[in-house]
Structure 1
Amino acid sequence: MDRTTDVIIIKSIDQLPSVDEIKSISRERALKLIFKGKINKQREQIGQYLDDTLSGFQVLIHKIDPELNIVKLITDKEIEDHQNFFEQCAKDYRRLGKQLVFMLVDKLDLNLNKDFPLDTFNELKRDERQIGKVAEWKYFVHGFHCGFQNIITGQYIEVPLVFGLEFGDLDPYFFVKFILSSPDYHPLSTPLFEEYADGLKIIEKMTALGKFEEIPSNVPGHTGIAVTDREKVEIKSDLDLEKIFVKHIEEIKKKSKFNLWKFLSLKR
């Protein structure tokens, strides 16, 4: 579904739409306020006021162009009304992520570290295997994820690699991008426009409803979100992993103090 944009030229303070007028716009409409003349000096102040006042809206204050962009985000009621759909999307994300990881592991004949998959996938970043193709999927290993895109359907998914064999961590941006790119979900029963902001609201509300829950990560200070109704898998902490790697390195000859993150050459 496309979103239309209403453009309003603002030359004086009295031309600003009221907060109630802005609240009345639908999610299918975006509002662009373009400031002309002296009023532009107040643009950031006005934008900050609207951002503080308009709950459930996203107000973007352009740092260069003289404009504000305002959109209404998905509502809590819409999320609650479609909670079964979002729950199923999360389950599909988890299932497909696991399937693609093991498909790539098999193709490249990798020895998957099941406690810490990123350890295995980091090897691919050092050569031409970082980018490639498996079946009808292009893949790209980067950061804490391996991204996959179907060359036929365009479906897109970012599979997390720092939760052991749990591949269902839901990043707000990646989750909505997965939904929007998945042909089987269309036409959507409720529209999604803002990939990150709508995704964040969905994850927060679904967690409040008990449909999603927080999960630990292998990486210190990092957590994730996964669908609650799933087959739970053990996720080893970074301390558990360090013990495993210390023992492994000591067996190979390293008697000095072992630094796991230096060994893995990870940069957060």
Structure 2
Amino acid sequence: MIFGYFDYLILAIIIFLNIKFWRKKFEIGIGCILGGLIFGVVLPIISIVIELAIVESSGGWMDSFEVAYVYIKFPIYWTIGLTQAVLTGIKLNWLKMQSKQNPIDPSLVKEAISDYRNEGKRLMFELGTKYGLDIKNSDDFDMLITRGNKDIPRKGEISKRWNYCFHGSECGFFNRKSQQIIEVVLSNPPEFGHIDSWFLMSFMESTQKYKDAVQGIDWQDLKSIVESLSQKGEIVNVKRY
């Protein structure tokens, strides 16, 4: 077979990575660059070694075209991998320039913080209600979040749309229909006012209303805006613990 199954797999992965990258923002850029180099260099070498070993051990033969193909496979895939890395770098620079030229509106971030907090708070109360608890009561809240409480699974469903999962000092919520992600920091109950910029970014990226606004924005840029809003007194800085 001139073009083996292993080759199809490599190309499929490269195409998949490109599609994923060009649809996502640049945080995964480094991963794509490394992926391009790995799939463009490492895997072709492995493929060549395996194919030649199989041919030699089986005493089989290959026609002249197939022999030529095996030996030129490395530069072919190396070129693909290098192209992957170059295209990734181009988009990284473009997105960074877009981020600097079009910074996100602080008022939109303020609105997102409000939506994020209100929705997270609503889901926490809904989760408590599911297990017959009123989380305004500190004892009930402790029962809800305590890892040793065997009556409350650490992950499960709130409703047909929402899943929940306790992890560390947070509770994550995932909307199966909209793919929206909301992470609630469990300090400061029942208001849950602490805003983690990383989690806020995940919320905005997964929320139709905000996803376009954060395209090309790094979470650290978002953190700077949140800190600026806090310094101006437009939002209250609630400590994590």
**Whose relative contact order is higher, 1 or 2, with alpha carbons under 8 Å and at least 6 apart?**
2
With over 3 angstroms needed to count, the CA separation of the structure-2 counterparts of 1:116 and 1:207, relative to structure 1, is farther
- The reply to whether residue 30 of structure 1 matches residue 92 of structure 2 is yes
Other-structure match for 2:169: 144
Asked if residue 110 in structure 1 is aligned to residue 133 in structure 2, the reply is yes
Query: What is the CA–CA distance in structure 2 between the aligned matches of 1:90 and 1:76, rounded to whole Å?
Result: 23
In 2: Cα distance, 1:141 partner to 1:73 partner: 36
Question: Offset at 1:124?
Answer: 5.1
Q: Secondary structure at the match of 1:158?
A: strand
SS in 2 for 1:185: coil
C-alpha displacement of 1:209: 3.3
Contact 1:103 1:134 in 2 (8 A): yes
Within the candidate set 106, 121, 130, 2:154 is matched to 130
Structure 2 partner of 1:189: 213
Please tell me whether the aligned partners of residues 131 and 140 of structure 1 are also in contact (alpha carbons under 8 angstroms): yes
1:83 aligns with 2:145: no
Larger radius of gyration: 2
CA deviations over 1:164-212 (Å, ceiling 9, x no partner): 22123210110000000012324x23534433x2332222222233322
Contact 1:139/1:148 (CA < 8 Å) preserved in 2? yes
Deviations 1:234-259 (A, max 9, x none): xxxxxxxxxxxxxxxxxxxxxxxxxx
Tell whether the 8 Å contact from 2:195 to 2:238 is kept in structure 1 after alignment: no
> Whole-Å Cα distance in 2 between the matches of residues 73 and 201 of structure 1?
17
Q: CA deviation at 1:132?
A: 0.4
Aligned residues: 158
Amino acid at match of 2:182: I
Aligned mates of 2:111, 2:189 — CA distance in 1: 22
Gaps of 5+ in 1: 8-27, 32-70, 223-268
- Are the structure 2 counterparts of residues 191 and 167 from structure 1 closer, same or farther at C-alpha, using a change threshold of 3 Å? same
Give the whole-Å Cα distance in 1 for the aligned partners of 2:163 and 2:123.
Answer: 11
Structure 2 counterpart of 1:165:
190
Whole-Å separation in 2 of the counterparts to 1:154 and 1:119: 29
SS in structure 1 of the partner of residue 103 of structure 2? helix
Cα 1:72–1:198 change in 2 (3 A) is farther
Native 8 Å contact 2:133 2:141 kept in 1: no
CA distance in 2, matches of 1:89, 1:212: 12
Aligned residue for 1:183, secondary structure, equals: coil
Q: Which runs of 5+ in 2 are unaligned?
A: 1-22, 34-89
CA RMSD across the alignment: 3.5
Q: Distance in 2 between matches of 1:77 and 1:212?
A: 23
The structure whose residues are more often helix, as a share, is 2
Once residues 151 and 134 of structure 1 are traced to their aligned partners in structure 2, the CA distance between those partners, rounded to angstroms, is: 11
Give me the whole-angstrom Cα distance separating, in 2, the residues matched to 1:161 and 1:116.
14
> Which is richer in strand?
1
CA separation of 1:116/1:200 partners in 2, compared to 1, >3 Å: closer, same or farther?
A: farther
Match of 1:178 among 203, 211, 227: 203
- Picking from 218, 222, 227, the partner of 1:204 is 227
Aligned residues of 1:144 and 1:161 also touching (Cα < 8 A): yes
SS in 2 for 1:78: coil
1:78 shift after superposition: 2.2
Shift of residue 109, structure 1, vs aligned partner: 1.1
SS of the residue 2:171 aligns to: strand
Asked if structure 2 preserves the Cα contact closer than 8 Å seen for 1:138 and 1:148, the reply is yes
Number of the residue aligned with 1:37: none
Separation of aligned partners in 2, 1:125 and 1:198: 38
